[in-house]
Amino acid sequence: MTESFVVQRETQIAAPRATVFAYLTDPEKILSWMGADATTEPHPGGLYLLKSVGPRGAAARGAFREVVPVHRLAYTFGWEGGQEVPPGSSLIEIDLIERDGGTLLRMTHSGLPNADQAAAHAKGWAHYLERLTIAATGGDPGPDRGVSNKS
């Protein structure tokens, strides 16, 4: 069995869980902090599709495995045309925990194939969770310029 690499992040968001959940599942709200086009069907087996910004314009595709409104999301993830992380090859799990008058978002991205991909996805998550925190609290994170990666 090959080794799997994992990215874990936590961020505190000064917004209710229902608001944060909407920013993770509603395509219009997703686009306020990530991507150029989004399609989501937030139910087990439903589609997760996000076209990223930038010159590559890659699309991330997966399927929802678990959807517990305002509490938890789990969906497969990968890049269309991606050799190292193809669609559905990794798993993103997000838990929303009520804490300090807001929401603690705890994210685990598992199933990444190597250290380079884990580092690239860690950089992406740091960038996008910061943007999510701004958007979910009513701020404007500005245009999404993506994350520059060599991957």
Provide DSSP, 81-148: T-SSS-TTSEEEEEEEEEETTEEEEEEEEEEE-SHHHHHHHHHHHHHHHHHHHHHHTT----------
Which residues are within 8 A (CB) of 3 and not within 5 positions of it... i.e. 6 or more apart?
none
In a domain, 143, yes or no: no
The SS3 call for residue 32 is: coil
Tell me, yes or no, whether 141 lies in a domain.
no
Does residue 145 lie in a domain region?
no
- Residue 105 within any structural domain of the chain: yes
Domain count, the chain: 1
- Supply the pLDDT for residue 81: 87
Using CA atoms, how far residue 16 sits from 70, 95, 97, 145, in Å, is 9, 13, 10, 27
Which residue is listed with tokens 């798993």?
91
CATH number at residue 34: 3.30.530.20
Predicted pLDDT of residue 151: 37
CA distance 58 to 149: 12
Give pLDDT, residue 75. 98
With respect to residue 75, please indicate whether it lies within any of the assigned structural domains. yes
Whether 150 is covered by a domain: the verdict is: no
Range of the domain at 12: 5-136
Let me know if residue 142 belongs to a domain: no
pTM: 0.92
Give the whole-angstrom CA distance, residue 95 versus residue 18.
Answer: 12
> According to the model, what pLDDT value does residue 137 have?
97
DSSP annotation of 20 reads H
| pLDDT at residue 3, rounded to an integer | 63
81 occurs within a structural domain = yes
List average pLDDT for each run of 10 residues in the chain, which is 151 residues long: 82 98 97 94 96 76 97 96 91 97 98 95 95 97 73 37
Contacts with 62 (C-beta within 8 Å, 6 or more apart), sequence order: 48, 75, 76, 77, 78, 87, 88, 92
Q: What residues pair up with 2 in beta bridges, in sequence order?
A: none
What is the per-residue pLDDT for 77? 95
